[in-house]
Amino acid sequence: MANTACFIIVGRNDIPIYEAEVGSAAKREDAAQLHQFILHAALDVVQDLAWTTSAMFLKSVDRFNDLVVSVYVTAGHTRLMLLHDSRNEDGIKSFFQEVHELYIKILLNPLYLPGSRITSSHFDTKVRALARKYL
């Protein structure tokens, strides 16, 4: 179980469409404020790395102190980004795959505008449950 984790989904136009602080209590409160800033900064690496590999799971694309950024790039170039201090790479990958399936279900909703913010509470509950399960 990761102590600190921040999960966001970035749309294909580089705008976050979902944000969640998952994991247990933060160790240092000052660093928690920087979680989304660190994930945003990691896009500098992802935008180059995503086109040089065929893998969807990009592990450890960026590192900040003891926090690591892992990214999962979908076929539509939506990026699932996780800031964590866990070394359980298999769990992180499974977490990404499960959330990806949830995201596909969101996309299948005809009333959902692709690229807009995901405001479904059901989606939020599911993501947090998956975080507790895998991270």
Residues interacting with another protein, by CB under 8 A?
Answer: 11, 13-17, 19-22, 25-26, 28-30, 32-34, 36-38, 40-45, 48-49, 52, 59-66, 112-113, 115-119, 124
| Burial class of 81 by CB neighbour count within 10 A (0 to 12, 13 to 18, 19+) | buried
- 40 vs 100, beta carbon nearer another protein: 40
Q: Which residues pair with 72 in a beta bridge?
A: 57, 80
Least Å distance between CB 47 and another protein?
A: 9
Least Å distance between CB 62 and another protein?
A: 5
Least Å distance between CB 108 and another protein?
A: 15
> Residue 99 is encoded by which pair of tokens?
């959330």
Least Å distance between CB 89 and another protein?
A: 9
- 20 vs 97, beta carbon nearer another protein: 20
